[in-house]
Chain A
Amino acid sequence: MSLPLLFEIGTEEVPDWMIQSALASLRASFEKLAIPHDSIAMDATPRRLTLRAQGLPERQPDTEERILGPAKSAPPQAVAGFARKQGISPESLTVETTPKGEYYTLLKRVEGRRTIDILAESLPGIVLQIPFPKTMYWTGKGGARFIRPIRWIVALLGASVVPFELAGVRSGNVTAGHRRLGAREVVVTTADYESKLRENYVILSADERRAKISGEMAGMGAKPDAALLETLVYLTEYPTPITGSFDPQFLELPEEVLSTVMRHHQRYFSVAGDSGGLAPRFVAIMNIEADPEGFVRLGNERVLRARFNDGRFFWETDQKKKLADRVEDLAHVTFQAKLGSYLEKTKRVAALTGELGGDAQAVRAAELLKCDLTTELVKEFTELQGVVGGLYARAQGEPESVWKAIYDQYKPESMEDEIPRERCGQIVALADKLDTLRGCFSVGLIPTGSRDPFALRRAAQGIVRIVVEGGLDLDLEPWLDAGENRAALREFFQDRVRYYFKDIRGFKYDEVSAAMAAGWSNLADLETRLKRIRDLRASADFEPLAASFKRIKNILEQAQFRDAGAIEPQLLEPGPEKDLYDEYTRLKGRTIEEAIGALRPKVDLFFDKVLVNVADAGVRRNRLTLLSALLAPFSSIADFSEIVTNS
């Protein structure tokens, strides 16, 4: 008989962003039990993590165990005693021949363990194993740890409760409905669980909650925001969108400020206006069914009004002191204890901007870059740093490229984000990130494993993207100055470069290794070479040639060949060796793309017919010199021996 399993961990509200990884972990731990099943479904709301599986066996298959009894020669009493102990008559014993002689034996059927017992034993451990970023205890010191208190557990295999206790909670068949719209205790079966929850205003499926929000929001004009939608899907059990409005006068404030208040502080969707910009409306997602009396709308409108009033107050107050007059105030804002204040950073970044070829406007932007850290608006909305500085610079009449450079300084903030839009901003952002990296590395703040408190990986990745995607002709190497940790910084950058070209741009790892071996720090040049290698790879001659290059490299290494010297043509043997030499002399002035078609058969033939390691030292050295010379024209493109070939 096959049985359905329903397992629900009922908790107090779990943070939305942790729910999906918790479900994945729960599923993986269950699968590790290796109980056969047809299907698994995972679901969650803020108050429950649910695993449902179909087609579990009632018990594990039976097994047979062979029990060895006394020897055939044993006295009858011993045989009778053995049989009695096994609960059978002595006549039922069989005699078997074993390597040690003849023995009484018994084939015993061992019943497979009941699935319900296996589950009762393992489910508590599975729950406590779910990894969360930060856990708590609630039953007292030394008690169970979980993300939030566990308040109920439903564990049903078919019609039976899988019995266990966890953190003082006994498993059962009673779940809970929506905190206020549903019943506090709801008896469920594996069959009616989801529908019983629905009757009690809990939509179990995240997909369904997402569809409900999207569907009902469709006519409201909300700007799409996938991340916010996900947050709300996991913050609610019964989501319902409503619209509210605000005084159009607030539209005088920058859109960035308005949408940040709505999105980050209130979790509202903004609504697009008819002629670009915002409409004076918002969409909020409630965790109840309806707002017939408008209480929720009114409450949210009041809160937003207060928030916008704050924003306007800060915006106006901040304007009383221009960014340019705030530079000295940065002496009181710490960048990093060992690296001094933001004023010191500002001076370094401004100088570096100039050294990197930034013009007067770029240097101006660098000087004003961090001034918004002293504004009330940024203290209130830290996520708007940079953007606020840019907006103030614009309002205070700074040239377009200056304010845009300030505005874009933290870009790109992720792999999806864009790089600063103008050259001026690109150089300033580059200088800022480079200064942070050099500074942190030089005082030993080097990221390890998952610890990267200063987001240095993001900074380095940003530099790589700005240089490549901005098309900056810049060799990074001379700029990676970090005192005694210079080598570590170099290596750190190489990793970022490798990651970028391999994982983001999709070059094969061996192509990236080959190209980087011929130089990695001029990224524009590296990119060009990578593209050439990728194209070359399409040619049938490429991989065999690469394989030959690897062979050449091995031969040269084994011979500990150093000095190239000049090839002595008179020592060349006519035939394949001379032919290869002639081909080699034709390489000059031709591109690899043009050359490899003719070169490859000559190399193949050479290895086929010519022995390098001959007794005559002169001939041997001459052959090694030829091979070594052959590699040279290619080595400025890549180290082709890094290419992984099938041959």
Chain B
Amino acid sequence: MQSFQEIIFKLKQYWAQRGCIIQEPYDVEVGAGTMCPETFLRVLGPKPYRVAYVQPSRRPADGRYGDNPNRLFKHSQLQVILKPSPDDVIEQYLGSLEAIGIDLRKHDIKFEEDNWESPTLGAWGIGWQVMLDGLEVTQFTYFQQCGGIDLDLVPAELTYGLERLSAFLQLKDSVYDIEWNGAFSYGDVRYLDELQYSVYNFEMADIPTLWKLFDLHEGEAARLIAAYNPKAADKRRFPLLPAYDQVLKCSNLFNTLDARGAISVTERVGVIQRVRKLAVAVAHAWADQQKEPEPQLASTEVAQ
């Protein structure tokens, strides 16, 4: 039986052979692999890019104290970005399932319409949920817009639900029974994460503190964004990546406050707008920062 980690190794290997940079998880808490700069910022602009990484994704509201066999506060996504998407992208994707031992002549695979949209990121795309014997194993999206910007090259984003896929392959009814490796189960490794974060997110997170943190991170992001000068000669050294981290902090705090029941319905839209405004501003600044500098007078040639 393939262990959880072997499945991950094989998928990473598969995508590495197809030109992907293999990244490690981003070190700021996120709700989905899409939010990592490796996706959110890299899909902007005209430069091709291919990357794959496993991203632990935090959804405070989905926590179930480790009691529910299929729902997790923190699940693992394998995020693959192919920019631009190759013509045979679906074939490549199906090949990745075969690489982890799924014989697709003997399994039922269907692509069901599912368009993805993230209001907080000003991002959306067209795609499918990929159903394997009735189980949604992957979200497949052709990005169209990110940070409110129409993308120059259309990337394909493949997001694999690794726990689901592993439970499927290992024939387990509970994610906690998945074999992480030969000696440890998923429950051994992650049960306490689920229990303790559920307790924190639902019961103990201090609402005024979280709001204060939200305001602080928002303020820091806004301060940096306001200071970005697109005409500055040394604009490439301007810290947009750290500014984006502040946006991610806000997003996670919003999710935690939401799970804690601290955001009323009327406030909700407004808070999403606050995060979106920052994300969109960073995206625009980033797109500008990535542009090739205007050709300067050829002083180097003169020097020769």
Given contacts A180-B105, A288-B105, contact A138 B85 (CB under 8 A): yes
Q: Tell me, yes or no, whether A333 is within 8 Å of chain B by CB.
A: yes
Binary contact readout A276-305 vs B (1 if CB under 8 angstroms, 0 otherwise): 000000001011100111011011101111
Binary contact readout A291-335 vs B (1 if CB under 8 angstroms, 0 otherwise): 111011011101111100110010000000000000000001110
Q: Tell me, yes or no, whether B134 is within 8 Å of chain A by CB.
A: yes
A16: which B residues are within 8 A, CB to CB?
113
B91 and A266 contacting across the interface, CB-CB below 8 Å: no
B265 and A334 contacting across the interface, CB-CB below 8 Å: yes
Nearest A residue (CB) for B130: A13
Q: How far is the CA of A148 from the CA of B126 in the complex (A)?
A: 8
A148: which B residues are within 8 A, CB to CB?
126
B128: which A residues are within 8 A, CB to CB?
13
A140 and B69 contacting across the interface, CB-CB below 8 Å: no
Q: Tell me, yes or no, whether A149 is within 8 Å of chain B by CB.
A: yes
Q: How far is the CA of A268 from the CA of B110 in the complex (A)?
A: 14
A287: which B residues are within 8 A, CB to CB?
108-110
- 130-144 of chain A: CB within 8 A of chain B: 134, 136-141
Binary contact readout B194-226 vs A (1 if CB under 8 angstroms, 0 otherwise): 000000000000000000000000000000000
Q: How far is the CA of A284 from the CA of B105 in the complex (A)?
A: 17
Q: Tell me, yes or no, whether A494 is within 8 Å of chain B by CB.
A: no
A141 and B84 contacting across the interface, CB-CB below 8 Å: no
Which of B146-154, B247-255, B272-280, B284-292 touches A?
B146-154
A286: which B residues are within 8 A, CB to CB?
108
Q: Tell me, yes or no, whether A212 is within 8 Å of chain B by CB.
A: no
Q: How far is the CA of A333 from the CA of B142 in the complex (A)?
A: 33
Q: Tell me, yes or no, whether B106 is within 8 Å of chain A by CB.
A: yes
B153 and A299 contacting across the interface, CB-CB below 8 Å: no
B26: which A residues are within 8 A, CB to CB?
none
Q: Tell me, yes or no, whether B112 is within 8 Å of chain A by CB.
A: yes
A332: which B residues are within 8 A, CB to CB?
264-265
CB distance from B151 to the nearest CB of A (A): 7
Give the tally of cross-chain contacts (CB within 8 A). 107
Nearest B residue (CB) for A309: B69
Q: How far is the CA of A149 from the CA of B94 in the complex (A)?
A: 17
B94 and A288 contacting across the interface, CB-CB below 8 Å: no
Q: Tell me, yes or no, whether A46 is within 8 Å of chain B by CB.
A: yes
B133 and A12 contacting across the interface, CB-CB below 8 Å: no
A299 and B106 contacting across the interface, CB-CB below 8 Å: no
A140 and B154 contacting across the interface, CB-CB below 8 Å: yes
B111 and A12 contacting across the interface, CB-CB below 8 Å: yes
A291 and B135 contacting across the interface, CB-CB below 8 Å: no
CB distance from B258 to the nearest CB of A (A): 12
CB distance from A157 to the nearest CB of B (A): 26
Given contacts A46-B111, A138-B142, A179-B109, contact A296 B151 (CB under 8 A): no
Q: Tell me, yes or no, whether A236 is within 8 Å of chain B by CB.
A: yes
B105 and A134 contacting across the interface, CB-CB below 8 Å: no
Nearest B residue (CB) for A184: B91
Partner of A302, one of B94, B126, B135, B144: B135
Nearest A residue (CB) for B106: A295
B265 and A333 contacting across the interface, CB-CB below 8 Å: yes
B126: which A residues are within 8 A, CB to CB?
134, 136, 148
A334 and B168 contacting across the interface, CB-CB below 8 Å: no
A306 and B154 contacting across the interface, CB-CB below 8 Å: no
B109 and A180 contacting across the interface, CB-CB below 8 Å: yes
CB distance from B208 to the nearest CB of A (A): 19
B87 and A179 contacting across the interface, CB-CB below 8 Å: no
Q: Can you pick out 11 interface pairs between chain A and chain B where the beta carbons lie within 8 Å of each other?
A: A136-B144, A139-B154, A180-B94, A287-B110, A288-B106, A288-B107, A291-B106, A292-B106, A295-B107, A299-B107, A300-B133
Kindly list 15 other residue pairs between chains A and B, CB separation below 8 angstroms, not including A296-B107, A298-B133.
A12-B111, A15-B113, A134-B115, A140-B153, A141-B152, A149-B87, A179-B104, A284-B134, A288-B108, A291-B106, A295-B133, A299-B135, A299-B168, A332-B264, A337-B266
